[in-house]
Structure 1
Amino acid sequence: MSPAMKIKNYKPLALMAADREDLDVVSAVLQDSVAKVGDVAFLPDQRRFALVANRFVWEEGANKTKGPFTRVRVGVHFDDVLSVRTKSVRLDAKSAIVDILSVTYHGGEDGGTITLTLAGGGIVALAVDAINVTVRDISEPWRTQSKPDHEA
C-alpha cells in the first residue's frame, strides 16, 4: 500500500443506509473494495457484521481513463444482523482477499437478506431485521495507478 497523502478535493465519505435506495448507493460506493477475510467479523452479541476494506474512490475516478486513481480505507458495519451464511468464502482463511462486486437486499420491511456478492463467485448473506448500514472512510487516501476493470 502506498503511503497516505493529502489529495486535493478529497472529502471523506460517511453514509448511512436504511432502505433499498440507500443500499444501492452503498453498493456503488463499495464496488471493487478489497478486504482481507481477517478484517471481516460477525459479532453476534452486537448483531453486527463489520469489515474494513480498501475502497476504490469511484466518485473521483469513474470518468478517468488514466491514473493516478485513489483508494482509501473504509469501515462498514451492518447492524440488526441475525445470522451470516457464506458460499465459496472461508471466514477462517484470514489472509484470503475478497473483492466486493455488489451489495443487494431481498425481503420486506420486516426483514430479509443483505447479500454481498464477491468476485470469483463468493457470497456473504446477512439475515437482517432491517437495512441498517454505516459506511465511513477511516484513513487518508492514497494514489494507485490501477482502476478496476470489469472487462478483463
Structure 2
Amino acid sequence: MQDDARFEDGQEKPLNLGAFDADDLKVLSALAQDAVFPVGEMRWQASERRFALLLNRFRWEDGGRDRHGAERVQSVLVIDNVQKVASQGIDRSDKEMILSLLSIDWQPGADADGMLELTLAGDGAIRVQVEALELSLRDVTRPYRAPSGNTPDHGA
C-alpha cells in the first residue's frame, strides 16, 4: 500500500497551473494575490481572444521564507476565450505605472460564459468578459529576493 503524498515531500518548483472552474480560480487567485506589474505589461490580443499579464508574483507557496527571506517570481497570467476587456482607474498611457493585483473573481453568466474581475489596489479594476473560464498561471523566471524584503500584509 502506498502512502499519500505529504506537503513536506514537495519540492519548490515553478508553478504551472490552470483554472477551469470557480474552485480552481480561488487557488489561482490566492497565488496571484499581491502580484505587481507595470501597465505596459498588459496585452489584449483580440485576434487570439487572449488577455495576458506579466506579473511579479509574491511566492505565497514558498516554504523556505524563514530561511532565505521573501521572494517574488515573474509569472505569466493568461486568460483565454476573451470577448471583451475593460478597465477603470488605470491610466493606460502611463506604461510605467505599477499596479498591484488583489484578487481575481468570477461572475458566471447564463451558460459557460461570464465575467472575470481583477481587483487592483486603489480604485483600479480590469473586467474580462469570457466565453468560458480558462486561465493559466505559469512562472517564467527563477525566484528572486523581494526588493522590499517584506511579506505583503493586509492587516487581517
- Given the two structures, how large is their TM-score scaled by the length of structure 1? 0.87
Question: For residue 147 of structure 1, what is the amino acid of its counterpart?
Answer: T
Query: Which 4+ residue blocks in structure 1 deviate beyond 3 angstroms?
Result: 63-67
Q: Number of matched residues?
A: 143
Question: For residue 125 of structure 1, what is the amino acid of its counterpart?
Answer: R
Contact 1:56/1:70 (8 A) holds in 2: yes
- 1:1-152 aligned at under 5 Å gives the runs 9-60=11-62, 68-108=69-109, 109-144=111-146, 145-151=149-155
Contact 2:112/2:133 (8 A) holds in 1: no
Higher relative contact order (CA 8 A, sep 6+): 1
Contact 1:67/1:147 (8 A) holds in 2: no
Unaligned runs of 5+ in 1: 1-8
Question: For residue 126 of structure 2, what is the amino acid of its counterpart?
Answer: V
Unaligned runs of 5+ in 2: 1-10
Question: For residue 81 of structure 2, what is the amino acid of its counterpart?
Answer: D
Between the aligned partners of 1:97 and 1:148, the Cα distance in structure 2 is 16
Between the aligned partners of 1:57 and 1:117, the Cα distance in structure 2 is 19
Deviation for aligned residue 1:91: 2.2
Contact 1:67/1:146 (8 A) holds in 2: no
Deviation for aligned residue 1:86: 0.7
Between the aligned partners of 2:24 and 2:72, the Cα distance in structure 1 is 22
Tell me, what secondary structure is at the counterpart of 2:29?
helix
Once the two structures are aligned, what percentage of the paired residues are identical?
Answer: 38
The residue number in structure 2 matching 1:3 is: none
Q: In terms of Rg, which structure is larger? A: 2
